[in-house]
Amino acid sequence: MDNPSDTRAETERNFGPQPLDALMLQLGLDNHALVAASQEPLTHKAVQRARKGRRLTPRMRQRIADALHRAATLKDARPERPWYPRELFNY
Protein backbone atom coordinates (compact mmCIF):
# COMPACT_ATOMS: atom_id res chain seq x y z
CA MET A 1 0.00 0.00 0.00
CA ASP A 2 1.13 3.55 -0.66
CA ASN A 3 2.73 5.46 2.13
CA PRO A 4 0.57 8.54 3.00
CA SER A 5 3.67 10.68 3.49
CA ASP A 6 4.69 9.91 -0.13
CA THR A 7 1.38 11.29 -1.37
CA ARG A 8 1.75 14.44 0.72
CA ALA A 9 5.30 15.00 -0.56
CA GLU A 10 4.10 14.55 -4.13
CA THR A 11 1.28 17.06 -3.58
CA GLU A 12 3.72 19.65 -2.21
CA ARG A 13 5.84 19.44 -5.36
CA ASN A 14 3.06 19.49 -7.95
CA PHE A 15 0.91 22.58 -8.21
CA GLY A 16 -1.00 21.86 -11.41
CA PRO A 17 -1.04 23.96 -14.58
CA GLN A 18 0.56 27.34 -14.04
CA PRO A 19 -0.30 30.81 -15.37
CA LEU A 20 2.85 30.41 -17.49
CA ASP A 21 1.13 27.65 -19.48
CA ALA A 22 -1.93 29.78 -20.29
CA LEU A 23 0.25 32.74 -21.26
CA MET A 24 2.39 30.61 -23.57
CA LEU A 25 -0.73 29.25 -25.26
CA GLN A 26 -2.11 32.79 -25.65
CA LEU A 27 1.14 33.97 -27.25
CA GLY A 28 1.40 30.88 -29.46
CA LEU A 29 4.72 29.82 -27.95
CA ASP A 30 5.85 26.24 -27.43
CA ASN A 31 8.54 24.84 -25.16
CA HIS A 32 11.14 25.02 -27.91
CA ALA A 33 10.56 28.74 -28.39
CA LEU A 34 11.61 29.39 -24.79
CA VAL A 35 14.61 27.07 -25.01
CA ALA A 36 15.77 28.70 -28.24
CA ALA A 37 15.26 32.23 -26.89
CA SER A 38 17.00 31.64 -23.57
CA GLN A 39 20.39 33.21 -23.08
CA GLU A 40 21.12 30.86 -20.18
CA PRO A 41 21.07 27.07 -20.05
CA LEU A 42 17.44 25.92 -20.27
CA THR A 43 16.06 22.54 -21.29
CA HIS A 44 12.77 21.45 -22.80
CA LYS A 45 12.25 19.28 -19.71
CA ALA A 46 12.59 22.29 -17.39
CA VAL A 47 10.05 24.28 -19.41
CA GLN A 48 7.61 21.36 -19.38
CA ARG A 49 8.02 20.97 -15.62
CA ALA A 50 7.38 24.70 -15.19
CA ARG A 51 4.19 24.56 -17.25
CA LYS A 52 2.83 21.56 -15.38
CA GLY A 53 3.51 23.07 -11.97
CA ARG A 54 6.42 21.03 -10.72
CA ARG A 55 8.32 23.04 -8.10
CA LEU A 56 11.39 24.80 -9.53
CA THR A 57 14.14 26.75 -7.84
CA PRO A 58 13.78 30.53 -7.75
CA ARG A 59 16.71 30.85 -10.17
CA MET A 60 15.08 28.49 -12.69
CA ARG A 61 11.77 30.37 -12.42
CA GLN A 62 13.68 33.59 -13.24
CA ARG A 63 15.34 31.93 -16.25
CA ILE A 64 11.92 30.85 -17.52
CA ALA A 65 10.54 34.39 -17.07
CA ASP A 66 13.52 35.89 -18.92
CA ALA A 67 13.22 33.35 -21.74
CA LEU A 68 9.47 34.02 -22.04
CA HIS A 69 10.06 37.75 -22.38
CA ARG A 70 12.75 37.21 -25.02
CA ALA A 71 10.65 34.65 -26.96
CA ALA A 72 7.63 36.98 -26.98
CA THR A 73 9.82 39.84 -28.19
CA LEU A 74 11.29 37.69 -30.97
CA LYS A 75 7.75 36.75 -32.04
CA ASP A 76 6.80 40.45 -32.31
CA ALA A 77 4.44 40.18 -29.36
CA ARG A 78 6.55 42.65 -27.43
CA PRO A 79 5.24 42.85 -23.87
CA GLU A 80 5.03 46.27 -22.24
CA ARG A 81 7.32 45.03 -19.47
CA PRO A 82 9.07 41.80 -18.48
CA TRP A 83 7.07 39.24 -16.56
CA TYR A 84 8.06 38.45 -13.00
CA PRO A 85 8.18 34.85 -11.77
CA ARG A 86 5.45 35.61 -9.22
CA GLU A 87 3.12 36.39 -12.15
CA LEU A 88 3.92 33.13 -13.97
CA PHE A 89 3.86 30.69 -11.07
CA ASN A 90 1.26 30.29 -8.32
CA TYR A 91 3.59 28.89 -5.67
CA 55/CA 2 separation, integer angstroms: 22
pTM of this prediction? 0.84
The model's pLDDT over 33-79, given as tens digits with 9 standing for 90+, comes to 999 999 999 999 999 999 999 999 999 999 999 999 999 999 988 88
CA 88/CA 64 separation, integer angstroms: 9
Q: Classify residue 40 by its DSSP letter.
A: S
C-alpha 57, offset from chain centre: 11
The three-state secondary structure class of 14 is strand
Return the domain boundaries, the chain. Answer: 4-88
* R_g of the chain computed on alpha carbons: 14
